[in-house]
Amino acid sequence: MNPRNDTFYSVSSRVDHRLTDRQQLFVRYTRNDRRESRNAIYGEVNGIAPRGNFLFRTNDGVTVDHVYTMTSSTLLDVRAGWQRFKEPNVRQHEGRFDPASLGFSSAVTGLFGGASYFPFFDFDQFSDIGENLTSVTNHSIYSFQPTVTRIFGNHSLRAGYDGRLYKEFGSNPGAKAGEYTFRNNAAFTRQQDNSTGVFGQDLATFLLGFPTAGTIDVNAARLNLTPYHGLFVQDDWKVSDRLTINLGLRYEYEGATRDSQNRNVRGFDPNAAISIEAAVKAAYVASPIPEIAPSAFAARGGLQFASDDTPGFWNADKNNVQPRVGFAYKLNDATVVRGGLGVYTVPFIIAGNFQPGFSQTTTLVPSNDLGLTFNATLANPFPSGVLAPAGASRGADTFL
């Protein structure tokens, strides 16, 4: 049985108000909310659903628009907005289950960072049980967009500004309380190393408490910000009763995404000095190849991280100039020909999340001698502790 349900509602409201003969205002609020339950295939066991997740998707938005007729030929329109999308993907037992109740010692649960959920047990021939924690994402957009329109003679001139701030919070704890694997092809319950086709070896390995593999994660969160600025001007010129020409120009500057704590890689520098360079050169001098002289051999290059001086994940593009031209020509009372040409760019918005060094996975190593002796068991799966993320502290030496 795999029960599933989905609940959705949506609300949209708007208020218009005429402030004076020259000023009008409207405020709009929209919201929709969706909650979906999936994959609780085992139902509840002692009040806990060991499998299954809730998917929450919530959108909120507020728009305020003020129109001011300054003169008979000049109009000012100022609009501001806020939009937010939230998507937490929550396990149905998250926050309700203490992994210590599975028999883990206090020393082991101390490695879980306070995680309160049923961890994932991965079997080969039997159904898996438990889950890993999943992602939480919140997107917000703040916008401010004033536009002024002025009519003079045969021209209608419009100019404005488009300012936005994109904000994203994301986290994915993953296997925060560990993931434990029991596989037939590496089980410690086989009669011989090449034994195949024996049913239940993964379950037998589990009952003995000897995982064949596993991991535990310490993953970074992120709070990314991307600023955006746009300026535009357009002239609709009525050349004659038959011909109207549109001339426009837009400029956009999209700042590079940055994390609030610089938890991101900014690129790869092929010329960065690394600590092993001298040792590598010495080893090469001792055994060179004919194609590269020892004097020409170099060992350089490494990751570059965002910092207070260079917080952006890349260098922002500053040449987004976008001309536009169009026309409308009246052939007769029944036919109008229209055409146009323009250059457009598409905002990148938020991208480039690459956080090596700020997240770290520790691998469970059960045995170094094919099961004659065990380093790690379910009673003590990570005897050497959990590796801590190094962040940007090693610079170009990261991962060496």
Residues 344-388 pLDDT 10s: 998 887 776 788 889 999 999 999 887 889 999 999 999 999 999
In the predicted model, what is the mean pLDDT of the chain? 92
How far apart are alpha carbons 195 and 87 in whole angstroms? Answer: 46
Quick one: pLDDT at residue 246?
A: 97
How far apart are alpha carbons 333 and 331 in whole angstroms? Answer: 7
| Alpha-carbon dihedral 37, 41, 45, 50, rounded to 10 degrees | -70
pLDDT band with cut points at 50, 70 and 90 for residue 1: low
Q: Minimum mean pLDDT among 76-85, 151-160, 203-212: which range?
A: 203-212
How far apart are alpha carbons 85 and 88 in whole angstroms? Answer: 10
91: left (phi over 0), alpha (psi -120 to 50) or beta: beta
Give me the domain span that covers residue 156.
Answer: 5-397
Question: Of all residues in the chain, what percent carry a pLDDT higher than 70?
Answer: 97
CA dist 189 → 120, 181, 192, 205 (Å): 21, 14, 9, 6
CA dist 106 → 102, 103, 113, 258, 388 (Å): 11, 9, 12, 38, 19
The number of folded domains in the chain is 1
Over the stretch 277-324, which tens digit does the pLDDT of each residue have?
999 999 999 999 999 999 999 899 999 999 999 999 989 999 999 999
Strand partners, 362: 216
pLDDT band with cut points at 50, 70 and 90 for residue 161: very high
